[in-house]
Amino acid sequence: MSTATLRRIQKELSDISNNPISGVSVETQDDNLFEWKCSIKAAPESPYKNGTFKFTLSLPSNYPFKAPTVTFTTKIYHPGINEEGSICVPVLRDEWKPTVTISSVLAIIQEKLNNPSPDDPFEPEIATLLKNDKTKFLATAKEWTKKYAM
């Protein structure tokens, strides 16, 4: 890993602490700048309201030329987050560019979590339920939030 990589990560951490994203918390894991423990407090209008969802953000040694890996550690009933905790976000896959900041990635993850969409799902069955029986989807999302995220 290069000193440029470390400087970039330190600058981004500093930017996040100076301009925090409401509802998102970030801390490095045991002073390891490449492993971040993050959480998102769901928005009041979200199907996951009152829930706090934890995830790790792992930065590769060749960051920013390769996207970070995001893994949710809190179970969530969501069409875009699978059972292993991976999230389906284009910016973390084929749309990654070295100019993308971690702060913008966190904002995208927060938006995705609060506004589940049946499009481009990781969990097709959940997406189908969201499309065809939103009431049942919302009830299940609320139940899982109570069980795993409170």
Q: What are the boundaries of each domain within the chain?
A: 3-149
**Pure H helices in 24-101:** none
Does residue 31 surpass a pLDDT of 90?
A: no
Please give the pLDDT value at position 1: 65
Residue 88 a catalytic site member: yes
Among residues 16, 42, 57, 88, the one annotated as catalytic is: 88
User: pTM for this structure?
Assistant: 0.94
Q: pLDDT for 91-107, tens place per residue? A: 998 899 999 999 999 99
Second-level CATH architecture of 3-149: Roll (3.10)
62 and 56 in contact (C-beta within 8 Å)? no
The pLDDT tens digits for 35-77 are 999 999 999 999 999 999 999 999 999 999 999 999 999 999 9
pLDDT at 120: 80
The DSSP string of 92-110 is: GTTT--TT--HHHHHHHHH
Given a contact cutoff of 8 angstroms between Cβ atoms, the answer to whether 54 and 73 are in contact is: yes
Question: What is residue 104's three-state secondary structure?
Answer: helix
